[in-house]
Amino acid sequence: MRTLVFTMIALCFGLQAMAQATGPAEFLQSYLWHVDHPQFGGFSGLELSDDGNDLVTLSDRTSLWRAHITRDAQGRITAVAPTENPITLHDYRDREMTVSRGDSEGLALAPDGGVYVSFEGDLPRVDHYAKGSSRAGKLPRAVEFKNMQANASLEALAVDQSGALYTLPERSGRSGLAFPVFELKNNRWSRPFSIPREGEWQAVGADFGPDGRLYLLERDFWGLLGFLTRVQVFDVKNGKLSGGEVLLQTTAGHHDNLEGLSVWRDAAGFIRLTMISDDNFRKILQRTEIVEYRLPK
């Protein structure tokens, strides 16, 4: 059994070494981030500042982190340092949440400097947190949220340039069934469009880029071989979705479990895709990885 285990591990590392990423996105770097803190890990949401030098990230155990990114002359990450202690998010009654109620997954920046957070536990919802506050501000909840698949509901979250909030579930219900997309505008939820689902890809992150387009981060899992990553981009105009260009697709094991996505424009004018991995708090088997790709102009 020991020989078999070591053989499988060697095989996985061998496949990872040979793994390739396809698509027009150019790989820039993978930065391994670690902070000696019991709440560090499990990151599933990510937002960067417009210049890419500050980040907000969210763990799936209600921990919200803010950090500063140091970059070299080529824009490569050389250090990531927290700028304050992490905030443990509470519910709207200011109570700490159970694991099932506090499965925080999606993250988006709010116009007031706070954040929106989506939850995929036994109470699927999106809440608002004012900057520096741990107490949730309740938002309306769509009727459809109640019937979503357990542990696979509201995962991706994004805000467009008008301030409208979009969310979609990790799984659509079955393979081949499109992901329903929900929009919160003028304090009301609607379902303007769906995103086609292919195979076993799951929607885990989303962001509107500086070009106004919707970027979707997807994940697949092949057991011992590891995780696959895909990023698509769509145009959203007049409540309709078009496009669906695949910008990046990796083979299994190329990166860890990438779940958070932030899209921004660097000083040279290139759009960058920055992603962060959820290590599931399994430090021996997984890692917190910040990955960056660049799109051609």
The full set of domains in the chain, from first to last, is 2-294 (2.120.10)
What is the SS3 assignment for 287? coil
Strand partners for 22: 249
Instruction: Render pLDDT for 110-140 as a digit per residue (tens, 0 to 9).
Output: 999 999 999 998 899 999 999 999 999 999 9
Under 8 Å CB-to-CB from 207, ≥6 apart: which residues? 47, 108, 158, 214, 215, 261, 262, 263
- For residues 101 and 84, what is the distance between their CA atoms, to the nearest angstrom? 25
As a whole number, the mean pLDDT across the chain is 92
pLDDT at 13: 43
Query: Given this model, what pLDDT does residue 218 score?
Result: 98
pLDDT at 246 over 80: yes
Q: What is the pLDDT of residue 269?
A: 97
| pLDDT band, very low/low/confident/very high, at 161 (cuts 50, 70, 90) | very high
Q: What percent of the chain stands above pLDDT 90?
A: 87
Q: Is the pLDDT of residue 9 over 70?
A: no
SS3 state at 225: helix
pLDDT at 99: 87
Q: What is the mean pLDDT of residues 168-176?
A: 90
Q: What is the pLDDT of residue 158?
A: 98
Q: Check: CB of residue 221 under 8 Å from CB of residue 227.
A: yes
Q: What is the pLDDT of residue 223?
A: 95
Q: Does residue 6 surpass a pLDDT of 80?
A: no
Average pLDDT over residues 146-170: 94
Q: Which residues, in sequence order, are CB contacts of 224 under 8 Å at separation 6+?
A: 8, 11, 12
Question: What's the pLDDT score for residue 296?
Answer: 97
Q: What is the pLDDT of residue 121?
A: 86
Asked if residue 170 lies in contact with residue 205, where contact means CB atoms within 8 angstroms, the answer is: no
CA angle 101/106/112 to nearest 5° reads 105
Confidence at residue 10, expressed as pLDDT on a 0 to 100 scale: 40
Can you tell me the distance from the alpha carbon of 267 to that of 264, in angstroms, rounded to the nearest whole number? 10
Query: What is the pLDDT confidence band of residue 20, given thresholds at 50, 70 and 90?
Result: confident
Per-residue pLDDT tens over the stretch 62-77: 999 999 999 999 999 9
Give the list of residues 6+ apart from residue 261 with CB closer than 8 angstroms, or none: 46, 205, 206, 207, 215, 217, 231, 273, 274, 275
Q: Is the pLDDT of residue 295 over 90?
A: yes
Give residue-wise pLDDT tens across range 198-237. 999 999 999 999 999 999 999 999 999 999 999 999 999 9
Q: What is the mean pLDDT of residues 23-45?
A: 97
- Per-residue pLDDT, 2: 42
For residue 16, pLDDT beyond 60: no
